Amino acid sequence: MLTNITMGQYYPVDSRVHRLDPRIKLILTIAFIVCVFLASNFAGYILLSAFLFAVCRLSNVPFKMLLRGLKPLRIILILTFLLNLFFTPGDDVWVSFWIIRITREAFLQALFYSLRLMFLVAGTSLLTLTTSPISLADGLEILMGPLKKIRFPAHELAMMMTIALRFIPTLLDETDKIMKAQMARGADFESGNLLSRAKAMVPLLVPLFISAFRRAGDLAMAMESRCYHGGEGRTRLRVLKITKNDMIACVIMAAFIAMLILAGRFIPF
Amino acid sequence: MSIEVRHLTHTYSEGSVMRTVALDDVSFTVEKGEFVGIIGHTGSGKSTLVQHLNGLLKPSAGEVLIDGEDLNGEHVNRRALRQRIGLVFQYPEYQLFEETVAKDIAFGPKNQGLSAEEIDGRVRYAMDCVHLDYDKYSASSPFELSGGQMRRVAIAGVLAMKPSVLILDEPTAGLDPRGRDRILTMLEELHAREHTTILMVSHSMDDMARLATRLLVMAEGKLLADGTPREIFSRTEMMKGAGLDVPAAARLCQALRDRGIDLPTELYQADELRDAILRLWRQGKEATGC
């Protein structure tokens, strides 16, 4: 029922991409995001898709999973495409009737903007698909470490993120269970107008909130009873180490960025 | 109302690495008025099985027939059927949401579209079934009650729909002995008085020994055995293989037999074991003459 949410869901298989150091993977993801904005022509986008596809293959995550993460975005994607298509000014007119005017420039911009959005989401979901929430938060905490000097609560933020991510599947399961329990009592979540549907959510949301608060209380107690008192002096079970694998990944990324820039400069379409 | 399960198979996350077969070719029939216990180790597919019986899960293969009609057929009103097959989930107290006990219990009947008087009658009936005093509790918040009381309110919420089949998933889990005894007594009464068909999932063999007229043993998604408690509990080896215990009385009986005391194999109720031991003891006394 609620299994089609991929964003932020870890896909637990082993691969070179999974084994990358989370810090490196975060930096590489940011680099990839920059790349998405660097691409300015067809050649660039072809390179981006090839790169994404290759990394996906290397990570043993089915390409389907990546596409599934794009599904919730379809409305935004269509809107982006249409708005850009109709409202971008240009000279090379393709279609023109009534108030609609489609130009070549508009079409290209619409296409590129929607592709850009897709790549952004696909690239970042590849990060979360191949990195367990815990190592992701670990990586973030270390990367944000220098900010601690200006009193930025890096550890607390990372811990909050770990907990939030950790509870997404739990709360989804819980939602599924409560939904089924209320359906067993004849609740109807699927039909009716907007108002009656919103009202039908009450039997679902009240128990869900109560259980979330109960879980939060339990977790706080469990952490406290294991002497958790914030990040000060806390050591790690898994000390992160940069391996040869990580170096190779960095080199590949650098080469890719160079290729992308060259493609933008020297390939005319 | 009879329930027939034919070659039921259910696979979670088909086509992914998380793929697991939760049910594997399970078939059985439950007739009206039976009290069926479903036992099995954690992860043996019990909960998945019961969710199929009122159409909350769709089978990957096989079918569930209610009075001969396919539950997942195209023209079946599953919402109406769900109200005739009451399902009480594990820890049902977590589904309570209304401001008062009475309102929460009324949720099911309200969804059935009953009149206000009928709903009030149903609430009173259901609270009576679970031994909660209407005058005392109907206006209080369900969240102020004790765990055992909340559980009973949640069960009342299902009973208020007057289902002809009642399915309970671990109704006594996490309760203290008194809370547990209350629920079991309540089920016993309901079965005796209304002849409601009851299917109960439980880990407690003693609960099963007390209530069930028939047992289904699940192991790794398969139906391992199907028979009366007497047959099932005498097959100690099979039970051990499925990772299950037998009732305390059956265990004691087995231990005594191992020490050479001549007791029958099929005893599993505490009182029948007591009688058998007493009989042996008296015979022994007569034989030795003291």
What are the boundaries of each domain within chain A? 1-131+239-269, 154-238
Interchain CB contact of B58 with A (< 8 Å) = no
**Higher local confidence (pLDDT), A196 or B162:** B162
Distance between CA atoms of A113 and A121, rounded to whole angstroms? 13
Check CB contact under 8 Å for B89 and A184: yes
Name every residue whose Cβ is closer than 8 Å to that of residue A160 and which is 6 or more positions away in sequence: none
Q: H-type helices in chain B, by residue range? A: 46-52, 78-84, 101-111, 116-129, 134-137, 147-159, 177-194, 205-211, 229-234, 236-241, 248-258, 270-288
> What is the pLDDT at residue A15?
87
Q: What is the mean pLDDT of residues B106-115?
A: 91
Contact A119, A50 (CB under 8 A): no
Contact B177, B209 (CB under 8 A): no
- Helix, strand, coil share of chain A (percent; to 5): 70, 5, 25
pLDDT at A7 over 50: no
Q: Give me the helix-helix angle, A104-130 and A63-70, nearest 10°.
A: 120
Interchain CB contact of B82 with A (< 8 Å) = yes
φ/ψ of residue B199, rounded to 5: -120, 125
Structure tokens of B37? 């216990």
Chain A partners of B95 at a C-beta cutoff of 8 Å?
A: 178, 181-182, 203, 207
Place of tokens 């001969």: B68
> What is the pLDDT at residue B187?
93
Q: What is the mean pLDDT of residues B176-180?
A: 89
Å between A72 CA and nearest CA of chain B: 20
Check CB contact under 8 Å for B108 and A12: no
| CB burial of residue B12 (10 Å; 0-12, 13-18, 19+) | middle
> What is the pLDDT at residue A2?
46
Q: What is the mean pLDDT of residues A28-35?
A: 92
**CA B250 vs CA A95, B185, B226, B244: distances in Å:** 85, 22, 18, 13
Name every residue whose Cβ is closer than 8 Å to that of residue B211 and which is 6 or more positions away in sequence: B35, B37, B184, B187, B188, B191, B198, B200
Contact A96, A125 (CB under 8 A): no
Chosen from B18, B51, B97 to mutate, greatest number of chain A CBs within 10 A: B97
Q: pTM of the prediction? A: 0.72
Please give the residue of chain A at the shortest CA–CA distance from B166.
A184
> What is the pLDDT at residue B4?
92
* pLDDT tens, residue by residue, A49-65: 999 999 998 888 888 88
In the beta sheet, which residues pair with residue B218?
A: B40, B223
Query: Which stretch of DSSP H or E encloses residue A95?
Result: strand A93-97
Flag the least confident range among A27-41, B91-105, B183-197, B233-247. Answer: B233-247
* pLDDT tens, residue by residue, A137-182: 888 888 888 888 888 888 888 888 878 877 887 888 889 889 999 9
CB nearest A184 (choices: B13, B82, B97): B82
Check CB contact under 8 Å for B56 and A203: no
Query: In which band, very low, low, confident or very high, does the pLDDT at B287 lie, cut at 50, 70 and 90?
Result: confident
pLDDT at A1 over 50: no
Please give the residue of chain B at the shortest CA–CA distance from A63.
B16
* pLDDT tens, residue by residue, A223-242: 999 988 877 778 877 788 88
ipTM of the prediction: 0.83
> What is the pLDDT at residue B197?
93
